[in-house]
Chains A and B, each alone.
Chain A
Amino acid sequence: MTLCFTSCNMDLAPEDQLSTVTYFKSGTALKEYSNYFYRMMPDPETMYAEEGEHFVRDIHSGEAYWSKDVWKTLRKINYLLANADQCSDADARTHYVGVAHFFRAYFYFNMLQRFGAVPWYDHVINADDKESLNRPRDSRDLVVRNIIADLDMAVDELPAMRSAYEVNKWTALALKSRVCLFEGTFRKYHAGTTFNGGSSVYSEVLPWDDLLQQCADASLTLMQEGGYSLYTTTEEIIWARAYSKDLDIKHNAQAWSVARATGFTKRFADLYLMTDGTPFTSQAGYETVQYLDIFANRDPRMAQTIHAPGYIQMGADKTYAVKSWSQPIILGVAAYAPCRFSG
């Protein structure tokens, strides 16, 4: 009868399900787990629906940007980072820890742009961790430094492969470049206001020129070693979201750009430089240039992005100035109709 004392083992694990106790041991497990982070990639519909600066919309939509569902991604990122040690495959571990660092930086960058400073979490929050749950904003400087630190780690950890869809070293460099540019210019033009850096746990707030320098450095590395080139079709793409008819992965951005005739703002269109590198806005009378003359001598990428004279829509046989869904020639909500997603 003594055998029953020993055999009634209380530590039973599920046998028909993977559990967090056993799951993270393999490299493929880390990969599968990190796939979840890709949900943060923007898709054209949300871009149109967002209250972004670059698009004129005809409808407001009020997404919740601070919901459990949004913070869920961060939770999963931190969960992977906490459990990655279980993985026996060192290469996979480094790779996917890098992916996690990248996405954590991306997450906080999005939060930074939308809300400014937010609480920084590098751990999974427990239901009874009241301190973490109720933490107020961390300083902006702390958040930015952590973002950059994450990106630096990601650059080291991610493989140097070329892929337009899968996160890699070059994606991390590109993001670092953007983050530093954003924050550097933000601090430069908000110097002296309450928005500047805030207080810091470090001896001083990161100065804007330091940030811009980091941006330049990252960009240089990317340009020299990345192997990307400008102005051709696929070589240019650093990170994109793929669609496929065969896999039935589709989007309906046309619903916005064609049916609802959304367009770019003039402010956005004005950002494109002239071919000689000077800004369009330094031209005299730039506000009142006629539509057909706007596109003269401009950065070729402008015509790639916005319907310019001579643009032939896919499946059409001649050019239209602007085409809308049901009527052949009308002006939509804005005159700057995007080329992409309009046919």
Chain B
Amino acid sequence: MRRKFVLALSLMLLSLLTVQAQVVTLKVTNQPIREVLPMVEQQCDYHFFYNNNLTGLDNLVTLTLNQTPLEQALKQLFKGTGISYKMAENNVIVLSVEEKKSAVRHITGVVLDKKSNEPIIGASVAVKGTTSGTITDLDGNFTLEASTGQYLQVSYLGYETYELRVAAGSDIYRVMLAESTAQLDEVVVVGYGAQKKVNLTGAVSVVESKDIVGRPTPNMVTALQGADPALNITMSAGGPGASYNFNIRGLASINNSSTTKPLVLVDGVEMELSRVNTNDIESVSILKDASASAIYGSKAAAGVILVTTKSGKEGLAPQVTIDAKAGWKSPTTDHDFITQGFWSAYISDIFMLQHTKTAMTTYTEADYAELWMRLNDQTENPERPWVVTQNDGTYKYYANFNWYDHYYKTIRPMQDYNVSLKGGNDRINYFVSGRYYTEDGMIRIDNDKWHQFSTRAKVNINVKPWLHYGVNFSFFSSRYTYPGTESSREIFRVGSLHAMAYIPATNPDGSFVYLNPWIYSGQGTVGDGMSALLLNGKHKNLNLNREMVIQNSLTFDLYKNLTLNADYSFTWRMKEISNRSVKVPYSAKEGTTDLIENFRSVDSYHQQLARYQTHNYNVYLRWTPTWDKHHLTLTAGYNGEMYRYHSTQATRMDLMTEDLSSFNFAKGEVTELSESIKTVATNGFFARVNYDWAGRYLFEVSVRADASSRFAPGYRWAVTPGGSLGWRMSEEPFWESIHDWWDNAKIRFSAGQLANQMTGYYDYIQSVDADGMFTQAITLDGATVLSYATENDPNAGTLTWEKMTTYDVGLDLGFLGNRLSLTGDFYIRNTEGMLNTGTALPSVYGATDPKQNSANMSTRGWELAVTWRDKHNVLGKDFKYEIGGGVGNYRTFITKYNNPEKLLSTYYEGQELGELWGYEIDGLFQTQEEVVDYLTKVDPVNSMVYTDIVGVLDSKAPGLHPGDVRYVDLNGDGVITSGNNTADNPGDRRIIGNTLPKYNYNFHISAEWYGVDLSIHFQGVGRRDWYPMTEATTFWGPYSRPYQGFMAKDFMTNVWSEDNPDAYFPRYRAYEALGSANSLGPANTRYMLNVGYLRMKNITVGYTLPCWKNVFSEFRIYFSAENPWCWSQLQKYCRSIDPEQAVVSSQAITYGFARTFTFGLTATF
């Protein structure tokens, strides 16, 4: 026993001694632990065992140890790191890092209603990302287990879900839940504030984000088409970066320059609609009448569009949303053109033969036989080559070439990626987004490409309970690279001329085709050189746009209900354009290469750099006192803005290389070197009073005084007042009985006056031009030509603002729990003082008569919108759906204008804007007898419509023939003329139509059930008249120019012949539509087209996957198409013109309009 004790003791002592004998002596300064370990190992008889990648091993440590026992030494060594050690057998010390297992602890709290402070019973409190949770008790209290860093999600029906983070050291929480905004309590953004929708007295229309966000469009311009019947948006082309025109309720002034466009504000800063990321949009408010816009003063003369972007908010855990889509674009119009050379040559020949005595081509019977032989060769058959070299080397062409496919890509890809992050707590909230969009353009050769990038970051901070700070930064960049000439429209405009199917684009040796000698003039310029130019591939263009906006705002809560807001925004934009062109080679003869001699085939480089800067300041007070049932909101403040534009452009000829473009190696003449600087400053003071009593009687009045540097001192200020009244009948006691099914009825009336500054930047200052040249040159010394300086003609010193006064009467109704809602407006807008040439001054004045504010016009219109939304429970899941639509129309008349004779060449009193004067055609002559009979009543020689038919001396068959159009002699004077070209004497013309859109309408359907969502948007114009003018070659084909290459395959079936008497087009004859005095030149009833249309703007079908709920809060896949379908009466007569293209100009030639098809997915986590 005693021996065992001694053994144990001695063993213990031994082990103690062994351990105690381990001491460490070392001194290290800033050495990694990793290196200290071997030192310890050396001194002690231990080995460290650890993972090389252990965290903390590389931590630097400074230690001084003097005979320190090992345990203590190790403690000191690993102090501050997460490394823990464990003594194991065999003298091994194991090192490891402790898993920071945050302690799960008791969290308690209370959930209250934010407004009433009452506890919410039965609210659900869940730990986000787990399955644990609980419910609040009768006092609103809850308790559960959670650890630091986890999020609690508090929710209750009718309230906004609130998420809060469990903070270290904080175990008790108080959650305030805010009620979800019901449909009626919806808040609408208006000028310098927000109003409850039910209290709106002005004509304001709201576009919800769901109608815009996620659509496969690069920007919101096309997405807004159809948002409201009052909004008219016309695209000038269908290509990327196309410009657009838009107005609200029609043109506000006949002087429709850039100053008469509606004001677009994004979060209060002026921006272009085309540079806003659609996915950032929270809501869009369209201020249609003067009372709503008056607070914005002179810039708002044509209406205001307020765009509000998404923000973070309190009680939102950080949420990331990724949206990615990819797809393709294809043209909206048909391009089934004749590609058989035989027919292409034949048609141009027969048309030309009716016009002159020669055919278009010089092809003989033998040539036609060659063409006939190749008729069905869709691709070149080596036995029958498309280009036959003649004995002298000249190429002769017998091709079946598809020029449309040669120029244009019909299927082109696009991609769109968007990422956003938002979240917030009670101190700070944020929203950050980024987007990248790219699409390939339509031009096949040297494909044009569009890249677009945008980003936004918004942070709002509650610095103190009474001080809030916000910063809003956005950046947009677009880059468009394209081949060809400076204007990408040129390819569409001239590319098809002389591009006949029998001519290919390249010769057998690869050289480019430009000159076609096989036509009567010997000088057919194929595509006007565009094909050769594109194939040559050295014409390069770049269009770059970058814009950055930084906005800082401060809100001071001065006193209960009184806040002072101040914000400053800086917009900086840069635009860079560069265009390079070279001399283009071509060949018409084997072995000979020439250079094209036209204005597009020159060696030059052009560059333009423009910078825009805007500083904008707002300072205003807002006071919202309430007492009893009175609610008052007073807003008053100041707005100042400074704008500066500076652009430099230069062009130089003859560069030393075709592959690079820089002025540094241009050795030719500097043909352009100029600068343009524009500055504007505006000052404005505004104030508004909103009053309502018990939400029943509503009143608003606002006023703004604006000064602008564009006017001379003394004429600078304009005052724009506006006011409106409303009565919510549904809140009256007498309404109680019907309130359950008729929830809302409001009638409102508004009136306001806006002012428009319709001048240039410095019109009251006369500028001096120092480079005047005499038409009959003079020299004073025989060495230099005399130049002179002269000032431009003065404008009237009394030039002042144009005034627009709008009166609006509106009705807002809601039925059946607001499931059915209806809004109607009727308005009158009078514009006065539009600039107009004044009365003519005597010659002694010595300068052109100055313009005066002397023209007036008046617009009358109405809008109606109806929406039905409902929800049913189908098979256990909610089925939500919504159907809505709107329609509107307006007419504008000139009420005063200085044109006493009512000349139709300019405006006149009584004119309806858009009216189209034209002749009447009552059909085609079918027989010679009809022609003879007509000739007894009408003299075509002295008429202004048959000039070519009767006049061309060497025509094969001059004079009228069966198949020609028959003009009606409306005034019975025996000739078809335009009279005196006045409204009282228009000759044989009358008003045949109107070129402005009539009856804008839209409707949409959306539905959601079982995770599947569907939405379809339609937009349309009821009627819009359009006459295809002389250069509308896509419509007229060979009637305009017999060498028009794009002819519909079935074109000839619409051409009159004795076997085809009911045809649409008359007897075939070239150039009939090219001259304004030829039979198809002037506007007439027969060929005037209704380009009103119905267009499916968007269809989206999506499915939200029910799985992965613990990872993604939402995962949705979808298909979305933009512009997939369109119907128009125009398509009956011409399927190659898009109805929106027709109204861009009378030629209807633009970069093609496209439809987009995409597949995408959205994930939120």
Contacts and interface: CB of A to CB of B under 8 A. Distances in A.
Interface of A: 1, 4-5, 7-21, 23, 29, 32-36, 38-39, 41, 43, 66-68, 70-76, 79, 119, 121, 125-128, 132-135, 163, 165-166, 241-244, 247-249, 251
Given A12-B680, A38-B786, A19 B762 contact: yes
Given A10-B709, A21-B765, A71-B846, A79 B778 contact: no
Nearest to B794: A127
A8 B785 contact: no
B778 A241 contact: yes
Contact of B846 (A29, A32, A34, A75): A75
A152 to B, nearest CB: 24
Given A10-B713, A127-B797, 4 more contacts: A127-B845, A132-B844, A133-B842, A247-B785
A4 B617 CA distance: 7
Contacts of B849: 127
Contacts of B796: 127-128
B767 A17 contact: yes
B845 A68 contact: yes
B1035 to A, nearest CB: 43
Nearest to A14: B762
Interface centre among B681, B682, B765, B783 (most CB of A within 10 A): B765
A72 B772 CA distance: 14
B736 interface: no
B847 interface: yes
Contact of B776 (A12, A32, A43, A134): A43
Which 7 pairs across A and B sit closest by C-beta, in order of nearness? Answer: A75-B846, A35-B788, A71-B846, A32-B789, A36-B788, A16-B677, A18-B768
B602 interface: no
Interface in B761-806: 761-762, 765-770, 772, 774, 776-791, 794, 796-798
Interface stretch (B236-244, B603-611, B636-644): B636-644
Nearest to A13: B765
27 contacts: A10-B683, A12-B681, A13-B765, A15-B679, A16-B677, A18-B767, A19-B767, A21-B765, A32-B770, A32-B788, A36-B790, A39-B774, A68-B848, A70-B843, A71-B843, A73-B846, A74-B846, A126-B797, A127-B850, A128-B796, A133-B841, A135-B844, A165-B780, A242-B782, A247-B783, A247-B785, A251-B776
Given A15-B677, A38-B786, A68 B846 contact: yes
A17 B779 contact: no
Nearest to A251: B776
Interface in B595-650: 617, 619, 638, 640-642
Contacts of B682: 8
Contact of A10 (B677, B681, B848): B681
Interface centre among A23, A32, A166, A251 (most CB of B within 10 A): A32
A32 B784 CA distance: 13
A8 B768 contact: no
Contact of A249 (B709, B785, B787, B794): B785
A165 B841 contact: no
A243 B777 CA distance: 9
Contacts of B788: 32-36, 38
B683 A8 contact: yes
A39 B780 CA distance: 12
Contacts of A125: 844-846
Given A12-B681, A14-B765, A121 B844 contact: yes
Nearest to A83: B791
A165 B791 contact: no
A241 B781 CA distance: 10
A74 B847 CA distance: 10
Nearest to B778: A38
A35 B789 contact: yes
B786 A33 contact: no
Contacts, number: 171
A32 B787 contact: yes
Contact of B768 (A17, A68, A70, A74): A17
Given A41-B778, A247-B779, A72 B789 contact: no
A68 B18 CA distance: 122
A275 B630 CA distance: 111
Given A12-B679, A13-B765, A29 B780 contact: no
Given A9-B681, A244-B782, A20 B791 contact: yes
A35 B617 contact: no
A166 B779 contact: no
Contacts of A71: 843-846
Nearest to A135: B844
Contacts of A35: 786-789
Nearest to B554: A1
A4 B639 CA distance: 9
A97 to B, nearest CB: 16
A20 B768 contact: yes
Contacts of A70: 843
A249 B848 contact: no
Interface in B703-727: 707-709, 713, 716
B567 to A, nearest CB: 10
A75 B794 CA distance: 12
B843 A165 contact: no
B641 A8 contact: yes
Contacts of A247: 777, 779, 782-785
Interface centre among B787, B844, B849 (most CB of A within 10 A): B844
A125 B793 CA distance: 12
A39 to B, nearest CB: 6
Contacts of B762: 12-14, 17, 19
B334 to A, nearest CB: 48
A1 B642 contact: no
A226 to B, nearest CB: 19
B642 A7 contact: yes
A72 B846 contact: yes
A125 B843 CA distance: 11
Contacts of A243: 779
Nearest to B683: A8
Contacts of A15: 677, 679
B405 to A, nearest CB: 47
Contacts of A76: 790, 846
B619 A1 contact: yes
B636 to A, nearest CB: 14
A242 B767 contact: no
A21 B767 CA distance: 9
Contact of A20 (B680, B761, B765): B765
B856 to A, nearest CB: 21
B791 A249 contact: no
Nearest to B798: A128
A329 to B, nearest CB: 33
Contacts of A127: 794, 796-797, 841, 845, 849-850
A79 B845 CA distance: 12
A16 B849 CA distance: 25
A17 B789 CA distance: 12
A33 B790 contact: yes
Contacts of B847: 68, 72, 75
Interface in B647-689: 675-683
B843 A11 contact: no
Nearest to A32: B789
B566 interface: yes
Contacts of A16: 675-678
Nearest to B784: A247
A7 B762 CA distance: 19
A117 B633 CA distance: 71
A7 B679 CA distance: 13
B784 to A, nearest CB: 7
Nearest to B564: A1
Given A7-B642, A127-B796, A133-B844, A23 B713 contact: no
A33 B786 CA distance: 11
B516 to A, nearest CB: 37
Nearest to A7: B642
Contact of A12 (B709, B766, B777, B797): B709
